[in-house]
Amino acid sequence: MRASVCAFAALLLASCFSGYREKHDETMKVRKGTFTKDVVLTGELEAARGAAITVPTLPDWQTSIKWMAADGSTVREGERVVELDNSSFTANLDSKRQAELQALQELQQKSEEWAADLKQKALEFEKRKSELDKAKINADVPKDILSAREYADRQMELQRAMVEFEKARDVLAAQRLAVASDRKNLEIRLGKAQREIRRSERAIEDLVLRAPRAGIVVVRELPWESRKLQAGDTVWVGFPLALIPELDSLQVSVALPDVDDGTIAVGMPATVTLDGYPGSEFRGKVTAISAVAQESARQSLRRAFKVIVNLDSIDSTRMRPGLSARVLVHRESRPGSLIAPRAALDISGREPLAALASGKKVKIGIGSCNAQECVVTSGVEEGEVLARFDGGTDG
């Protein structure tokens, strides 16, 4: 009875191990199929086109961010996106308006004084003109009907009236020139004050940067700190602050480590998976690879080439700039290849070997390999069961 139980148990254990071996051997078979060799890269979605928002030309070259819309927020056309610090302009605006008011009041006061003075001198001129006209009439009386003395007096009076008239005329003309000059100077002063006010008001208005089109706000990074811009950051004229991208121009920007230079090329197909939507795949193609590797971060020893992958289709409901993505660049695809698991192969020597399930090692011909499989060109056949390679050189 005891012998029967032991035999049954041994048979049961043998069948269990036999089942495990069969399952294991199934995964180690040589098969026919499509061999693929991919490069896995990571990156993010970015827009190839969009409306850029930059620091405008200002009287002061440098300024700071007072307020900024949140990264990823939606704005309408004309809506405020960034507000730059305007304290340097608002602080001087009141003094400039006071200077304008003073110049205006002085011009008004002087105008009244000039008008009264000119009126007085014009009256004096008219008086002297009237006296001259009278003296001319008196002087025109014939000499033979007047005494010599009276005739001489009248001629003298005419000369005196003429001198006084010319003097009054010159004084009036000089006063008019002086008034015109003084008026011009005050008007220049007033105009300068008004221009400075308009300049400050325009600068204050220009410091409120508005969306040129409706869309999503993508805040730019502060390069030397590798972070998004925020309120309080110092910026300068021409500095890019934000982008409102055109969503139909979305592409994937990925980094290819410099040690992998040459592993991919423009035109290779790619499969893109968004980290936020792992169940969806999008087809694309490598369209550009930067000529020079750049630092992956400030003062980093790691360098990478920038690779652009264009998408065949864009899901506008899911895709947003800045979303992280995983990209499989398909370097090689060989349908109908004879494929063997790499764990059953030894490709380190001059003559590659395969470990058969029987324990025998055979020489094989090797084509391309990826991390899991290799293309076998000779030495084994489809359906042949292999085993994990554990060394030795039988066969």
131 & 98 share domain? yes
Query: What number is the average pLDDT over the span 350-377?
Result: 91
Shared domain for 125 and 215, answered yes or no, is: no
In terms of DSSP bridges, do strands 269-274 and 208-210 run parallel, antiparallel, or are they unpaired?
unpaired
Same domain, 109 and 193: yes
- Cβ partners under 8 Å of residue 236, min gap 6: 55, 61, 62, 63
**pLDDT, average across residues 38-57:** 91
- 256 found inside a domain: no
Q: Which of helix, strand or coil describes residue 261?
A: coil
Domain extent, residue 157, equals 88-204
Domain total in the chain: 2
pLDDT tens for each residue of 285-336: 999 999 998 876 555 678 899 999 999 999 988 888 888 999 999 988 889 9
Does the pLDDT at position 56 exceed 60?
yes
Per-residue pLDDT at 230: 93
Q: What is the dihedral of CA 149, 150, 154, 160, to 10 degrees?
A: 50
Q: Is residue 360 part of a domain?
A: no
Greater model confidence, 162 or 294: 162
pLDDT for position 297? 59
Residue 236 forms part of a structural domain: yes
CATH number at residue 57: 2.40.50.100
Judgement on whether residues 93 and 241 belong to the same structural domain of the protein: no
Q: Tell me, yes or no, whether 61 and 154 share the same domain.
A: no
Q: Which residue has the higher pLDDT, 19 or 122?
A: 122
Domain presence at residue 340: no
Q: Are 235 and 53 a contacting pair, CB within 8 Å? A: no
Within a domain: 232: yes
Same domain, 198 and 106: yes
Asked if residue 68 lies in contact with residue 219, where contact means CB atoms within 8 angstroms, the answer is yes
Mean pLDDT, residues 357-365 taken together:
91
Are 136 and 241 part of one and the same domain?
no
Q: Is 137 contained in some domain?
A: yes
Report if residue 267 sits inside a domain. no
Residue 92 and residue 195 in one domain: yes
Same domain, residue pair 104 and 187: yes
Give residue 263's pLDDT band: very low, low, confident or very high (50, 70, 90). Answer: confident
pTM, two decimals, is 0.57
Q: Is 258 domain-assigned? A: no
Q: Give me the pLDDT at residue 250, please.
A: 92
Q: What are the Cα distances from residue 230, in Å, to 210, 222, 246, 385?
A: 17, 9, 23, 62
Say whether both 77 and 92 belong to one domain: no
